[in-house]
Amino acid sequence: MQSLPVKEAFAVPSSEVPYDRLGWKKGYESQPNEYDYWIDNIEGEIPQGLHGTLFRNGPGLLDINGQRINHPFDGDGMICAIAFSEGKAHFRNRFVRTKGFLEEQAAGKILYRGVFGTQKPGGVLANAFDFRLKNIANTQIIYWGGKLLALWEAAEPHRLDPYTLETLGLDYLDGVLHQGDSFAAHPRIDPAIETGEPRLVNFSVKPGLSSTITIYELDTRGKVLQRHAHSVPGFAFIHDFAITPNYCIFFQNAVSFNPLPYLLGWRGAGECVQFHPKKPTQIIVIPRDVKAGKPVQILEAKSGFVFHHANAFERGEEICIDSICYQALPAVEPDSDFREVNFEGLTPGQLWRFTVNLHNQTVQRQLMENRCCEFPWVHPQRMGHDYRYVFVGAAHAASGNAPLQAILKIDYQTGERQLWSAAPKGFVSEPVFVPRTGATDEDDGWVLTLVYDSSHHRSDVVILDACNLNQGPVARLHLKHHIPYGLHGNWSSEYFVPSDRS
Ligand code: CO
């Protein structure tokens, strides 16, 4: 297979010290405060055409009253909403009032074990055989079917008021989910170019000796159109998936689960998952139209560990899936401090393309981007279809593993790369692409990202012109405070500010 031509449209001096490690650590300080204000410290100008709301989710607390949590994935979900209209922007953040958040804040201490190793005080005896799950609602936030939903993959969604971010409670999608059901944190929106009726497609996984994958498809009113469950062999740890008009595609990472240390109170459940880098990944291809009666197909590939997929599309009998792969995944060690992670000792996430031939049952793979990258994003109208551009968080340096400090744009057609870097003091989050109203070109729009600026210990909302990342931000909105490193978010074209509410 031909490898992609690479044209670097920017120059990065290789001898430069890429990042400020102490500065990076400060981005993991808790943000216990909740704010509500118009952003007035702005460099550049907010584009007049940018109208809508950026919602972000991520851990807001990295400690409970001074008791440190073991891993950011265990941190209580905090939502940020940045609403844009007529060149102005309003900021608001609020914690999701989950049951566990309210109980722990009232008690002033950790009451629940976390999936990623946070333990209650009191040692093994206090933690053994305590299997209560704290639904921390910290991974994704999406506005769909008139509901703003905070998602965490192991439990039910929480519904919030999109104007005030007030928590309204657990949401069961009008009876589709039942108590204790999970709903993944990676819904995909099928733009349904042919019918013009977009759908939200999502899944849940019930892991076990064999695992059950359930797929949900919701219309724009939030009504369920399809729900079908499939049993797949083996223990499945699946964080994300990809869609095409006809298929849902899952990468079942080569992992095993030894529950004993969890049961006995030594480790969190997530710390009992072991990755086997030499074993193949199972690529599970599930037809979306269950009525057609087509079989589920499972193919093997060498991929490493995958959290996130950029996109997938069909090409005749082939499906291409673009994914961020890690050669190895280090175990989360008990008593280790995630702030002390040795970046250089870990393998970077890299973008690969997997071409699955359903007829010949073969899989080919091709490295698309060598640079360390994570959190890919594509034009919403190209979801599930062949596409030209991907935007992704990336390391400042062209090789090696490092924190994400840059936004990289890859043009698959020409091989051109564009990059904007916030190094050495800035650290980026997932880039969210917002198309310009009425645009026809796939990159005509803006890339929004939250950047932690360690030199001021505050976060900025950075707006980039997606046609030309190299020229730097169109606007940089300085918040009055920092937002700890977050996970995922979404754009809604609706403008949610309480004073405008009718
Ligand atoms: Co994710």
Q: Please state whether beta strands 158-160 and 167-170 pair in parallel, antiparallel, or not at all (unpaired).
A: antiparallel
Q: How far is the CA of 140 from the centre of ligand 1 (A)?
A: 8
Q: How confident is the model at residue 183 (pLDDT cuts 50, 70, 90)?
A: very high
Q: How far is CA 145 from the centre of its chain?
A: 21
Average pLDDT over residues 369-387: 97
| Tens digits of residue pLDDT in 214-224 | 999 999 999 99
Q: How far is the CA of 225 from the centre of ligand 1 (A)?
A: 25
- Percent of the chain predicted with pLDDT > 70: 95
Please tell me the least confidently modeled range out of 192-206, 318-332, 381-395.
318-332
Q: How far is the CA of 163 from the centre of ligand 1 (A)?
A: 25
Q: How far is the CA of 125 from the centre of ligand 1 (A)?
A: 33
Q: How far is the CA of 59 from the centre of ligand 1 (A)?
A: 13
| Tens digits of residue pLDDT in 282-301 | 999 999 998 888 999 999 99
Q: How far is the CA of 159 from the centre of ligand 1 (A)?
A: 19
Q: How far is the CA of 13 from the centre of ligand 1 (A)?
A: 31
Q: 263, 128 in Cβ contact below 8 A?
A: yes
Q: What is the DSSP string of 291-350?
A: GG-PPPEEEEE---EEEEEEEEEEETTEEEEEEEEES------TT--GGG--GGGSPPPE
The overall average pLDDT reported for the chain is 92
- CA–CA dist 256, 142 (Å, integer): 31
Q: Rounded to 5 degrees, what are φ and ψ at 469?
A: -70, -30
Overall size of the chain counted in residues: 502
Task: Provide the greatest CA pair distance for the chain.
Answer: 61
Q: Is the pLDDT of residue 5 over 80?
A: no
pLDDT at position 14 = 47
Q: Would you call 71 exposed, middle or buried from its count of C-beta atoms within 10 A (0-12, 13-18, 19+)? A: buried
Q: How far is the CA of 185 from the centre of ligand 1 (A)?
A: 7
Residue whose pair of structure tokens reads 């740890």 in the numeric block: 237
- CA–CA dist 222, 302 (Å, integer): 37
Please tell me the least confidently modeled range out of 192-201, 272-281, 398-407, 468-477.
272-281
pLDDT at position 497 = 92
Q: 171, 157 in Cβ contact below 8 A?
A: yes
Q: How far is the CA of 186 from the centre of ligand 1 (A)?
A: 6
144 or 500, which is more confident: 144
Q: Please state whether beta strands 188-190 and 426-428 pair in parallel, antiparallel, or not at all (unpaired).
A: unpaired
Q: How far is the CA of 110 from the centre of ligand 1 (A)?
A: 25
Q: Is the pLDDT of residue 267 over 80?
A: no
Q: How far is the CA of 137 from the centre of ligand 1 (A)?
A: 13
Q: How far is the CA of 243 from the centre of ligand 1 (A)?
A: 15
Q: How far is the CA of 124 from the centre of ligand 1 (A)?
A: 30
- CA–CA dist 141, 139 (Å, integer): 7
Q: How far is the CA of 241 from the centre of ligand 1 (A)?
A: 10
Average pLDDT over residues 422-427: 95
- Percent of the chain predicted with pLDDT > 90: 75
Query: Of 415, 413, 419, 406, nearest to 466 (Cα)?
Result: 419
Average pLDDT over residues 341-345: 85
pLDDT at position 122 = 78
Q: How far is the CA of 107 from the centre of ligand 1 (A)?
A: 30
Long-range contacts of 219-223 (CB under 8 A, 24+ apart): 219/145, 220/144, 220/145, 221/145, 221/146, 222/144, 222/145, 222/146, 222/147, 222/173, 222/174, 223/145, 223/174
Please tell me the least confidently modeled range out of 86-95, 231-240, 474-483.
231-240
Q: How far is the CA of 424 from the centre of ligand 1 (A)?
A: 25
Q: Rounded to 5 degrees, what are φ and ψ at 501?
A: -70, 130
Q: Would you call 403 exposed, middle or buried from its count of C-beta atoms within 10 A (0-12, 13-18, 19+)? A: buried
| Tens digits of residue pLDDT in 427-452 | 999 999 999 999 999 999 999 999 99
Average pLDDT over residues 175-181: 93
Q: How far is the CA of 313 from the centre of ligand 1 (A)?
A: 20
The pTM score is 0.94
Instruction: Tell me which amino acid residue 44 is.
Output: G
pLDDT at position 4 = 52
Q: How far is the CA of 293 from the centre of ligand 1 (A)?
A: 31
Q: How far is the CA of 497 from the centre of ligand 1 (A)?
A: 27
pLDDT at position 193 = 86
Q: How far is the CA of 311 from the centre of ligand 1 (A)?
A: 14
Q: How far is the CA of 376 from the centre of ligand 1 (A)?
A: 10
Q: How far is the CA of 104 from the centre of ligand 1 (A)?
A: 25
pLDDT at position 271 = 76
Q: How far is the CA of 43 from the centre of ligand 1 (A)?
A: 30
Average pLDDT over residues 73-102: 97
Q: Which two tokens stand for residue 377?
A: 């994003």
Q: How far is the CA of 430 from the centre of ligand 1 (A)?
A: 10
427 or 501, which is more confident: 427
Q: How many CB atoms lie within 10 A of CB 210?
A: 12
pLDDT at position 7 = 58
Helix or strand or coil: residue 77? strand
pLDDT at position 345 = 84
Please tell me the least confidently modeled range out of 14-18, 157-161, 182-186.
14-18
Q: Is the pLDDT of residue 502 over 50?
A: no
Q: How far is the CA of 123 from the centre of ligand 1 (A)?
A: 31
Q: Rounded to 5 degrees, what are φ and ψ at 11?
A: -120, 125
Q: Is the pLDDT of residue 500 over 80?
A: no
Instruction: Tell me which amino acid residue 430 is.
Output: E
Please tell me the least confidently modeled range out of 121-135, 240-254, 351-365.
121-135
Q: List the chain domain ranges.
A: 7-36+50-500
pLDDT at position 17 = 58
- CA–CA dist 195, 204 (Å, integer): 26
Q: How far is the CA of 203 from the centre of ligand 1 (A)?
A: 13
pLDDT at position 9 = 53
Q: How far is the CA of 153 from the centre of ligand 1 (A)?
A: 9
Please tell me the least confidently modeled range out of 10-14, 232-236, 300-304.
10-14
Q: How far is the CA of 487 from the centre of ligand 1 (A)?
A: 7
- CA–CA dist 323, 308 (Å, integer): 6
Q: How confident is the model at residue 2 (pLDDT cuts 50, 70, 90)?
A: very low
Average pLDDT over residues 135-146: 97
How far from each other are the two terminal CA atoms of the chain, in whole angstroms?
Answer: 57
Q: How far is the CA of 308 from the centre of ligand 1 (A)?
A: 6
- CA–CA dist 234, 253 (Å, integer): 10
pLDDT at position 125 = 75
Q: How far is the CA of 11 from the centre of ligand 1 (A)?
A: 30
Q: How far is the CA of 410 from the centre of ligand 1 (A)?
A: 20
Average pLDDT over residues 90-111: 97
Q: How far is the CA of 364 from the centre of ligand 1 (A)?
A: 25
Q: How far is the CA of 48 from the centre of ligand 1 (A)?
A: 31
Q: How many CB atoms lie within 10 A of CB 411?
A: 17
Q: Is the pLDDT of residue 3 over 80?
A: no
